[in-house]
Amino acid sequence: MVSTNEKLTAQQIVESGAWEIIKSACLTLRGHQVQDGSIPEKSVHKICSIAVAGIAGSLRELAGQIPHDKEYLMACATDFEAWSDGGFRIPDFYDSLSLFHPEQSRINATPHLVIFPMYTQNGSTDRFVEAVVLEVIWPDFVAELEAGEYSNAAFVPIRFLDFTPGYVTNSAVLFPESVAVTPRVPEGSKPGTKASMPVFTWGGIFADREAARYRKVVAAAAEITRMDLPQGVVDLLANQELAEQTYVMWDLIHDRTHMRGDLPFDPFMIKQRMPFFLYGLEELRCDLTAFRESVKLFRAKDTEPKLREHAQLVQYAVLFDRIFRFPLSGNRIRNYDSVAGQMLFAYLHQHKVLHWTDTSLSVDWENLPDAVVSLSDEINELYWRSIDRPKVVHWLAAYDLVSSVLAPHPASKWAKRDIPLSGTTSELTDQVLDDEFPLSMFYEALQKKMVPVIQSTVGITGRA
């Protein structure tokens, strides 16, 4: 029994009776919610109100034992009760979301209990009630990197302890943008102020899930392709904690890159409709930036040995996750992550640092770093030129870059420029095939053996 004044660890939260009540009540609510998060069937409102009472009471019970989240947990209990009292319309958790600030307590093993009506990216588009107990992963060397050249105040790397069904998926992120909120005018605003969303100040990435997927998929792929792995990769595959720390460093640099560099004026996450391969280039740009920065740290004479080791491991992580898991994950409908992985593999093969010979895969490790940086340079050049180009010209230039490495589908209208260049950007986007850049023969063969392995990682954590 934990005293009411004792701070709880993440594991103690999971083992508490309050968490069991919360998790059970979430399942009740989820069973009656529709996609927008509301519960329109009035006949179930009584049982749902009982579930909400259980959640609210448990959150208040735990709030004193999770002091860094106390204000958020208390507000969350109130938001749940308001949702119930209002007849379970579309939920609005503006107040509690505004008080949740995990970026302010980036200390290793700091626990959080997070519960919101939300969708889980790469998981479900249903805005159902989800609850997750997690803890922060914040190694000393990452803290030093973030405090120096690689600042990223919103980045929160985390680890699963327990979760509701929305995370029994491929989702490895926790973003405030996914929470159900209604725009409003902040208190004290001037008359005429437009309603707005809360200011989002953090983003969580489950490094344990990313690391566990990597270890399982790369181990299988290396065996299938008869690849001799360097000792660093062997160490990653054998050590979950080491792999987690490697992903935290990778994600730290990747995440900050989305808004850094010579960018198109309206870069990535802005909500707009555009050809899916542009999203692939953006994700690849950020990953290759993490790779090239790791090369820089590895080669610098004043880099401490421990950091140099991690910088080498990040290179291994980016390479093998991108060429083994990303191309074969998900379906072939506008799969931008797959195109990015295919592109890296093909570029390295065409530059003769990756070889598929005598039915085995090998890498020219000495020349690999400069080849990857060269691809990064080409994408950066595309971005730098974009500011002087109309949007459609930028899109066409991006297509030319991708198609210079990957063979487009034979039926592609974009490859033939048989597209309405004088039309709207939506009309141009409509002409991109769902599978504009099909898998190569290598990947078609590899897919048959790898898909069951990749599918087996759904819902995986560092404990699985």
Token pair for 210: 């990313």
Would the pLDDT of 268 be above 80?
no
For residue 177, give its domain range. Answer: 10-201
pLDDT digits (tens, 9 = 90+) for 286-302: 999 999 999 999 999 99
| Residue 265 pLDDT | 63
Least confident of 23-27, 106-110, 194-198, 271-275: 271-275
- Give residue 204's Cα distance to chain centre: 8
> Per the domain annotation, does 463 fall within a domain?
no
Domain shared by 185 and 250, yes or no: no
* Count of the separate structural domains present in the chain: 2
Both tokens of residue 93? 């958790």
Q: What is the pLDDT at residue 458?
A: 95
Q: Which residue has the higher pLDDT, 363 or 262?
A: 363
Nearest to 258 by CA among 235, 218, 297, 285: 285
What is the token pair recorded at 291?
């790779």
Are 136 and 233 found together in one domain?
no
The alpha carbons of the chain give a radius of gyration, in whole angstroms, of: 24
Residue 256 lies in a domain: yes
Residue appearing with tokens 């992985």? 341
- Could you read off the pLDDT of 424-450 as tens digits, one per residue? 989 999 999 999 999 999 999 999 999
224 pLDDT higher than 90: yes
- Domain boundary among the residues 172, 201, 230 is at 201
Exposed/middle/buried for 202, CB within 10 Å: 0-12, 13-18, 19+? Answer: middle
- Has residue 273 got a pLDDT over 90? no
| pLDDT exceeds 90 at position 119 | yes
192, 228: one domain: no
- Looking at residue 283, its pLDDT comes to 94
Is residue 4 in some structural domain? no
How high is the mean pLDDT of the chain?
95
pLDDT given for residue 269 in this prediction: 45
- pLDDT at position 271 over 60: no
Question: Does residue 158 lie in a domain region?
Answer: yes
pLDDT of residue 1: 36
DSSP 296-342: HHHH-TTS-HHHHHHHHHHHHHHHHIIIIIGGGSS-SSS-HHHHHHH
The percent of residues above 90 in pLDDT, for the chain, comes to: 89
The answer on 323 and 238 residing in a single domain is yes
pTM: 0.94
- Band (pLDDT 50/70/90 cuts) for residue 419 is very high
Residue type, 394: H
Asked whether the predicted pLDDT for residue 115 surpasses 90, the reply is yes
Q: Do 345 and 425 belong to one domain?
A: yes
Q: State the pLDDT at residue 455.
A: 95
CB 420 within 8 A of CB 427: yes
> Which of 201, 226, 261 delimits the end of a domain?
201
> How high is the pLDDT of residue 210?
98
* Confidence band, pLDDT 50/70/90 cuts, at residue 192: confident
In a domain, 2, yes or no: no
- Confidence label for 3 from pLDDT (cuts 50, 70 and 90): very low
Same domain, 228 and 118: no
- The better pLDDT of the pair 210, 263 is held by 210
3-state SS of the chain: helix, strand, coil percent to 5?
55, 10, 35
Question: Per-residue pLDDT tens for 354-379?
Answer: 999 999 999 999 999 999 999 999 99
Q: Are residues 244 and 159 in the same domain?
A: no
Claim to verify: residue 185 and residue 214 sit in the same structural domain: no
Report the distance separating Cα 254 and Cα 463, nearest Å: 25
Mean pLDDT of 110-118: 98
The partner residues of 173 in beta bridges, in order of sequence, read 205
Query: What is the pLDDT, as a whole number, of residue 456?
Result: 97
Q: Which residues contact 267 (CB under 8 A, 6 or more apart)?
A: 258, 259, 282
The answer on 246 and 153 residing in a single domain is no
Q: Does residue 2 have a pLDDT over 50?
A: no
Task: Indicate if 302 and 235 belong to the same structural domain.
Answer: yes
The Cβ of residue 101 has, within 10 Å, a number of other Cβ atoms equal to 14
Give me the helices (H) in 86-170, please.
Answer: 94-99, 140-147
Give the pLDDT score at 56: 98
pLDDT at 358: 96
SS3 144: helix
Q: Is 1 within a domain? A: no
**3 within a domain of the structure (yes/no):** no
441 and 292 together in one domain: yes
- pLDDT of 267 higher than 60: no
CB 336 within 8 A of CB 429: no
- Residues 13-18, mean pLDDT to the nearest whole number: 98
Q: Are residues 159 and 266 in the same domain?
A: no
What pLDDT score was predicted for residue 5?
59
Q: How confident is the model at residue 261 (pLDDT cuts 50, 70, 90)?
A: confident
Q: Is residue 460 part of a domain?
A: no
The answer to whether 431 and 396 have CB atoms below 8 angstroms apart is no
Query: Which among 201, 224, 245 is the end of a domain?
Result: 201
pLDDT over 60 (residue 247) = yes
